[in-house]
Amino acid sequence: MRYDAIVIGGGHNGLTCAAYLAKAGRKTLVLERRHVLGGAAVTEEVFPGYKFSVCSYVVSLLRPEIIRDLDLPAHGLELLPLDGTLTPMLNGDYLWRMNDHNKSRREIARHSRKDADAYDDYGMAMVEMGRFAKPILSMTPPDPMSLDPRGLLDLLSVGKRFRGMRYHDKVNQVQLLTMSAVDFLDQWFETDALKATMSASGIIGTFLGVRSPGTAYVLLHHYMGEIDGAFRSWGLSRGGTGAVSNAIAGAARRFGAEIRTEAPVAHILMKNGRATGVALENGDEIQADIVVSSVDPRLTFERFMNTKDLPDDFVQGVKRYKYRGSSGKVNLALDALPDFTCLPGPGEHLRGAISISPSVDYMERAYDEAKHGAFSSRPYIDIVIPTLSDASLAPPGKHVMSCFVQYAPYHLKPGDMWDDARREAFGDAVIDAIAVHAPNIRNIIRHRQVLTPLDIERTFGLSEGNIFQGELSLEQLFFLRPVPGWAQYATPIDKLYMCGSATHPGGGIMGAPGKNAAEKILKDAKR
C-alpha cells in the first residue's frame, strides 16, 4: 500500500493537515501513537464515569475558516460559550468580568471608575490589534534572508498595513510585540486583580513572568479568540476538547483519509536525501510521496531521524529551540461544586473561568519560584467546571473540574526531580491555593489526576511538557519558528514537512499550522 502523504501524529494539527490534503484528493494516512486521537486536544474517561479534557480544555482560537472548510459542526463539533472570568481577591472581594462588555464595565467600576473608562479604550485597541494580527496567522512566514519576491511582498504588505494604522494602534502593536504584559496593562489600568488576571493570558505556556518583556504578545495570542463576537469567544466543546479532534478526524475520513491509532512511528524512511515513508515500531514500513510531521522538532529530527542526515546548522537550530514546559494540569472529579467565600453558593459565576490570580505580585512570585527551579507554592490557576455546561461529562450531580496550573517547571533545580512524591506535593499546593478562596474544595474531591510537565511529555509526546511545542517567545516566532530559515513548513529533507504547533503561528487549538502546512504542501506539489 502506498500513500500520497503520511501525517505523523493525530493531534488536532495533524488531523487538520490530513483533512485538507485528503480534501485536495491526496491519499492520506494519519499515524497516532496512542489509542485515542487528539494529541493534547483529547477527552478521556480518566476515572469511571468522569470524562476530562485531560490537557487543553478551552477552545477559542480554532480558525473559523477551518470550521467552515471542514464543515466541523456536521461532524459533531458544538461549541458552548464559556461566559466570564471570576477572580477571587485577597481582600475577600471578587472581580467578575463577563462577555457582556457593559456588565464588565460596571463590575470594574466597582473597583475603579478610571479603569472602567479605560476598559472601553483597551477593548477597542485590542480589537484593532487582533484585526492587524489575524491575517498574519494564516500567512506562510516569509524568509527575510531569501530573495523570493513573494515573501518580500508579504512582508511589505504587513509593513503597509502597519503604516495605515492610527497612531495609538501603531504604538500598541509594537508594544505588544515587545513589552511585558504588566507594563502594557499598566498604561490603562490600576486595579491590581484586573491587571493580574488579564496579564495571566500573557504567560500561559511560556516560561516567563507577567513582568517579563515579550509576554504582551502572548496576551494578544490569547485575545485573538475573544474578538470575533460572542460565539467564537472562549468556549468549551461539547464532549470535551477531544470532540474537536474527533470532528476534524471525521471530516478527514469523510474526505478519504485513513487514520490509525496505536501505530507509533519508529523512524522516518529516507532514500537519496528525501523522505520516502515511515517505519512503525512494530517493524512495518509504509511508503509515501511525502511525510508530514505534526510532532515537535525534537521528536521529528532527533528521534525519528538520524541528525547526521541533516545539515549541521539546522541541527543546531533544532537543539537550540526552547521548550521549557512550565505548566501542569490538575483534573478533579468532584462530589459537589466548590463554594467560594467571596461569592458563596452555586451560580452563574462558576460557569465561566475562575482565575486564581489575585495580584500582580502573586503572579510574579509564582514565576520567581519556578525560575529558580521549584514549582510555585502559590500558583496561578485557571479553573473551569465544564460539567456546568455539559452534564454528560460526569455522573448525575457530580462534576469535573479542570485546573490549568502555572508554574511547574520541567527543569527543577539540581538534585530535584519530578517523582511521585513531588507530583503529589504539587497537587497539594494547587488544592491549597484553591482552598484559600474555596475552603470546601478539600472535602468534595473524589478523584484527583495531577499532570506535571514530565507527565505531559511522557503521555502526550510534547517535549519538556511544553503545551505549545516550544515557547512562544519573540525569537521563536514567525520566520524564526521553529528554526530560522525553516519557517515555511518545509525541512532540509525533500518531501518532509512540519505541521505542528512548533510551526507558525504556534499553539492553542487553532489548527492554523496544520492548514497552512497543507496549503504549502499542495502549492509545492504544483511546481
Partner 1 sequence: MSATLVIGGGVNGLVCATLLARAGRRVTLLEQRDAVGGAAITRELTTGFRVPAAAHDVGPLRADVARDLNLNTHGLEFVPREAWMTALDGHGHAVTLWHDVAKTRASLAQFSQADADRWPAFVDARAKLGRVVASILPHTPPSIDSPAPRELWRLLQTARQFRALGAADGYRLLRWGPMPVADLVAEHVETPSVAAALAADGVFGAMLGPWSAGSGLLFLLHAANQCAGDPRLVWPRGGPGALTAALVRAAEQAGVTIRTGARVAEVLSDNTGTRGVRLADGTTVDGTTIVSGIDPKTTYALCDPMTLPSEVRWRARNYRTAGTLAKVNLALSALPVVPGADREQLATRIRMAADVDAMERAFDHVKYGAFSPSPWLEALIPSLGDPSLAPPGAHVMSIYAQYAPHTLREGTWETARAPFLAAVLETLDRFMPGVRSLIVEAEVLTPADLEREWGMAGGHIHHGELALDQLFTMRPLLNWSQYRTPVKGLWLCSAGTHPGLGLTGGSGANAAREILARG
Any contact of residue 183 with partner 1 (CB under 8 A)?
yes
Among residues 291, 392, 398, the alpha carbon closest in space to that of 334 is found at: 398
Cβ proximity to partner 1, 181 vs 451, nearer residue: 181
CA-to-CA dists, residue 516 to 64, 66, 137, 215, 401, angstroms: 14, 11, 9, 25, 34
One character per residue 204-243, x = contact with partner 1 (rule: CB under 8 A): ----x--xxxx-----------------------------
Among positions 99, 138, 175, 261, the unique one binding partner 1 when judged by CB under 8 A: 175
- Is 171 a binding residue for partner 1 by CB under 8 A? The answer is yes
Specify the residue, 232 or 481, whose C-beta has the smaller distance to partner 1.
Answer: 481
By CB atoms closer than 10 A (0-12, 13-18, 19+), residue 164 is exposed
Least CB distance to partner 1 at residue 293 (A): 22
Nearer to partner 1, 165 or 445 (CB): 165
Half-sphere exposure of residue 519, counting CA atoms within 13 Å on the CB side? 13
Residue with grid cell 510537565, as numbered in its chain: 453
Site string for partner 1, 431-470 (x = CB under 8 A): ----------------------------------------
Amino acid letter at 506? Answer: G
List the one residue from 186, 228, 258, 455 that touches partner 1 (CB under 8 A): 186
CB of 416: closest distance to partner 1 in angstroms? 15
Three-class SS state of 2: strand
Question: Which position among 56, 60, 389, 473 is part of the footprint of partner 1 (CB under 8 A)?
Answer: 473
Laid out side by side, the sheet with 445-451 consists of 94-97, 85-88, 353-356, 380-384, 399-406, 327-334, 445-451
Sign of CA dihedral 471, 476, 479, 485: negative
The interface region with partner 1, picked from 44-52, 65-73, 163-171, 287-295 by CB under 8 A, is: 163-171
The residue range among 65-73, 161-169, 221-229, 417-425 that interacts with partner 1, by the rule CB under 8 A, is 161-169
Is residue 174 part of the contact set for partner 1 (CB under 8 A)?
Answer: yes
Q: Indicate whether 167 belongs to the interface with partner 1 (CB under 8 A).
A: yes
Torsion angles phi and psi, residue 316, rounded to 5: -60, -45
Pairing of strands 496-498, 353-356: unpaired
Q: How far is the CB of 161 from partner 1 (least distance, A)?
A: 12
Nearer to partner 1, 52 or 486 (CB): 486
Residue 357 makes contact with partner 1 by CB under 8 A: no
Interface with partner 1 in residues 484-513 (CB under 8 A): 484-485
Among 368, 428, 432, 494, which residue interacts with partner 1 (rule: CB under 8 A)? 368
Q: How far apart are CA 345 and CA 441, in angstroms?
A: 13
Q: Please report how close the Cβ of residue 170 comes to partner 1 at its closest, in angstroms.
A: 6
The answer to whether the peptide bond before residue 409 is cis (omega within 30 degrees of 0) is no
524 binds partner 1 (CB under 8 A): no
Q: What is the 3-state secondary structure (H, E, C) of 378-416?
A: CCEEEEECHHHCCHHHCCCCCEEEEEEEECCCCCCCCCC
The CB-side HSE value for 39 (13 A sphere, CA atoms) comes to: 33
Binding positions for partner 1, 284-343, rule CB under 8 A: 313, 320, 322
The contact pattern for partner 1, residues 398-437, with x = CB under 8 A and - = no contact, is ----------------------------------------
Which stretch in 24-32, 243-251, 339-347, 471-479 sits in contact with partner 1 by CB under 8 A? 471-479
- All three cell numbers of 243: 470532540
Among 1, 21, 25, 3, CA closest to 13: 21
Q: Is 52 helix (H, G, I), strand (E, B) or coil?
A: strand
Q: How far is CA 274 from CA 140, 403, 428, 493, in A?
A: 22, 44, 50, 5
Comparison of 125 and 268: residue with beta carbon closer to partner 1: 125
Only segment of 168-176, 273-281, 291-299, 457-465 that touches partner 1 (CB under 8 A): 168-176
Q: Is residue 124 a contact residue for partner 1 (CB under 8 A)?
A: no
CB of 167 or CB of 231, closer to partner 1: 167
Number of Cβ within 10 Å of residue 356's Cβ equals: 27
Minimum gap (Å) between residue 419 Cβ and partner 1: 24
Which residues share a beta bridge with 328? 405
- Where does 138-264 have alpha helices with state H? 149-164, 167-178, 181-186, 192-200, 215-223, 242-254
Structural contact between residues 98 and 123, judged by C-beta atoms closer than 8 angstroms: no
Among 364, 382, 390, 457, binds partner 1 (CB under 8 A): 364
Q: Which residues bind partner 1 (CB under 8 A)?
A: 144-145, 162-163, 167-168, 170-171, 174-175, 177-179, 183, 186-187, 208, 211-214, 313, 320, 322, 361, 364, 368, 371-372, 473-475, 479-480, 484-485
